[in-house]
Amino acid sequence: MKQLQVLLVAGTHGNEINGIWLFDEWKKSSFLINTYGIKTFKVIGNPEAKKAGKRYIHHDLNRSFKEESCLSINSSNFEERRASEIVYLYGEAGENPCQIALDFHTTTASMGSCLVVYGRRDADLALASLIQNQLGLPIYLHESDQEQTGFLVESWPCGLVIEIGPIGQGLLNSKIILQTKLILETLMEQIHQVKNLKLFFPNKLIIHRHIKSIDFPRDEEGNIDGYVHPLRQSKDWQELKKNDELFCKLNGEIIRFEEDEPYIPVFINEAAYAEKNIAMSFTKRELWDFQKEWKKSLIDLIHQK
């Protein structure tokens, strides 16, 4: 049986520095974080962007993990090269094979902390359920978004993104660092419990399922000509009803939510998403029954069956 190994990534975006700082401190003092005896590799996702104080050098690293055949260690694009390198070093078939990848991010949106799951992979949903059960974190299920692909964790059999916030880019904050540490240790504890088959899954989990993202209002030339309405700013996770205010313009015009069904907005005015033409994303809040296949998938993965 192969040894269980977990890849821990911080700084996939170079200006999200709290996780990077925590990992650097951890390297100086190995007892800082309890990994419950599980072998981990801690990796700074985008060290070049960190040095430059930027999110990325050429292209968002967390959109660069394409199919293995599309990855190239010789690419002229730094992030494509870095994605290939990380998969080569820590991928399931890499030099230091890891079965699980945990990717720590921060957000400028007022979302608190949450887990992001890409698609509906059984093992991801099982691990997210364990963490929601322990810490009550919301789960954002990102799916059916053709514009956004190539996420790091999708290159591993199981992986979650952990978003912690709100925090400005490039700023250290004690609360964010402690949240990162708490969530990281809880993940390791729960993986350890699965390893020892001392696990307790909930019967239900609350999912915020991605529906779509919307752009800012723009003028004929494509420039942003309105901002998030003050009643919407920092109201992540709070239900939107028809005619609720979304944006306003300096001329007093208000742009309203026009959908018939209520949606839950997330990543409202996230600093990093303006370049992606995303002012906020809409989700549907759903209560899902826990599926026993999820549990089996995670147990089989951790026990290398």
Residue numbers at the binding site for Zn ion (CB under 5 A): 13, 16, 105
DSSP string, 259-293: -SS-BEEESTT-GGGGGGT-SEEEEEEEEEEPPHH
By beta-carbon proximity to Zn ion, the closer residue of 105 and 209 is 105
Cβ 302 to Zn ion, closest distance in Å? Answer: 26
Long-range contacts of 175-178 (CB under 8 A, 24+ apart): 176/18, 176/106, 177/18, 177/21, 177/22
Cβ 148 to Zn ion, closest distance in Å? Answer: 12
By beta-carbon proximity to Zn ion, the closer residue of 7 and 199 is 7
By beta-carbon proximity to Zn ion, the closer residue of 13 and 208 is 13
Q: Tell me if 5 sits within 8 A of 39, measured CB to CB.
A: yes
Cβ 143 to Zn ion, closest distance in Å? Answer: 18
- Beta strands 264-266; 100-106: pairing state: unpaired
- Number of CB atoms found within 10 A of residue 256's CB: 13
Q: Distance between CA atoms of 87 and 160, rounded to whole angstroms?
A: 16
Nearest residue to Zn ion, by Cβ distance, number only: 105
Cβ 9 to Zn ion, closest distance in Å? Answer: 10
By beta-carbon proximity to Zn ion, the closer residue of 111 and 302 is 111
By beta-carbon proximity to Zn ion, the closer residue of 109 and 187 is 109
Cβ 130 to Zn ion, closest distance in Å? Answer: 23
Q: Tell me if 212 sits within 8 A of 282, measured CB to CB.
A: yes
Assigned token pair, 216: 């800012």
Cβ 45 to Zn ion, closest distance in Å? Answer: 9
- Beta strands 114-118; 158-164: pairing state: antiparallel
By beta-carbon proximity to Zn ion, the closer residue of 16 and 122 is 16
- The conformational region for residue 252 under phi > 0 = left, psi -120 to 50 = alpha, else beta, is left
